[in-house]
Amino acid sequence: MHSYALRVNTAVTLAIMVLAVLCSFVSLSDHFHASSPHVHLEVLSIDAFQRQKAGNDEVWLTLNISADFSSVFSWNTKQLFIFVAAEYVTPKNVVNQVSLWDAILVSKNHAKFSIKTRNKYSFVDQGNNLRGSDFNLTMYWHVMPLTGAMYTEKQVFSGFRLPTE
Amino acid sequence: MNWEGQKLAEQLMQYLFLASALISFFTGYFFTSFRLMLLIYASGALLTTLITVPDWPFYNRRPLQWLDPKAAEASSSRIIKAAKVQAPKKASKSVKK
């Protein structure tokens, strides 16, 4: 501490170290943040059901997505990545997930919405197992914090059935 | 900056960083603004740097009491003569203090 250079060095080192500890405390404070988002998913209509040239089933449907994610935002939340996935079971694969729609919510003010939309990404099976099968729609939300680890939560809506033809 | 000043500067630096971290954390949490927390911490760090890095006069309040210089035993007779002349004066001064 006898020279300017040494004092500057100590100050910078200490400042960065304290900042790191500060950020870890901010990340820790997220554990005390309770969130209760409201999500509602429904299938309004099955618009098309076709077999692709390769032999895979493809479905086009219209979804009603209404959600309020504003309670998920804490002081340490940068943005949310949300997506709706169709999940079903086939004889070949136990887990099948197809992402149908996604969005990025950048602020609390835009976290409440209700939209009717055709699926953004095509709902295609690896084969032709979709006819007459049951499927779930699941809303996933990845929470991206400013500091700390990312985490994912989900809400499952079950009991949807595709037509047989 | 003397020994006491260096000790003071180091302790002041540690306490000021800790204080600005605590103040910024609770203010940011209260106002739910990460940006506010960073701004307060940055200004606290700047203030701490301004207080502890320059050699301010209050770091030199208690200067070191150096011992009086002693003449080295030198081979040159001229230096010995000079030491003989100066030594009594210096000795009397230090006694008065």
Higher pLDDT, A50 or B96: A50
Q: Are residues A6 and A58 in the same domain?
A: no
pLDDT at A157: 93
Which range, of A33-37, A125-129, B38-42, averages the lowest pLDDT?
A: A125-129
Residue of A nearest to B25 (CA): A22
Q: Are residues A94 and A123 in the same domain?
A: yes
Residue of A nearest to B44 (CA): A15
CA pair distance A131, A110, nearest whole angstrom? 37
CB-based contact B49 A75, cutoff 8 Å:
no
Q: Are residues A28 and A45 in the same domain?
A: no
In percent, how much of chain A has pLDDT > 70? 99
CA pair distance B41, A26, nearest whole angstrom? 13
CB A140 within 8 A of CB A109: no
Q: Are residues A54 and A108 in the same domain?
A: yes
Q: Mean pLDDT, to the nearest integer, of A20-35? A: 92
CA pair distance B19, A15, nearest whole angstrom? 12
Which among A2, A4, A74 has CB closest to B53?
A4
**Is the predicted pLDDT of residue A83 greater than 90, yes or no?**
yes
Segments forming the whole domain that contains residue A5: 1-32
Q: Which of residues 33-72 of B touch A (CB under 8 A)?
A: 33-34, 37, 41, 45, 48-49, 52-55
Angle, CA A140 vertex, CA A42 and CA A118 arms, to 5°:
40
Distances (CA, A) of A60 to A47, A92, A100, A120, B16: 5, 23, 10, 9, 62
Its pTM stands at 0.74
B19-46 pLDDT tens trace: 999 999 999 999 989 999 999 999 999 9
Distances (CA, A) of B76 to A71, A122, B56, B79, B83: 88, 101, 43, 6, 11
Q: Mean pLDDT, to the nearest integer, of A17-33? A: 93
Q: Structurally, how many domains does chain A consist of? A: 2
Q: Mean pLDDT, to the nearest integer, of A5-32? A: 94
B39-94 pLDDT tens trace: 999 999 999 999 999 988 888 887 888 888 887 765 655 655 555 555 555 555 55
Q: Which of A82, A78, A49 is nearest to A145 (CA)?
A: A78
Which among A1, A19, A75 has CB closest to B34?
A75
Q: Are residues A39 and A14 in the same domain?
A: no
Q: Which residue has the tokens 């100066």?
A: B86
Give me the DSSP letters along B1-64.
--HHHHHHHHHHHHHHHHHHHHHHHHHHHHTT-HHHHHHHHHHHHHHHHHHHSS--GGGGSS--
CATH number for the domain harbouring residue A78? 2.60.40
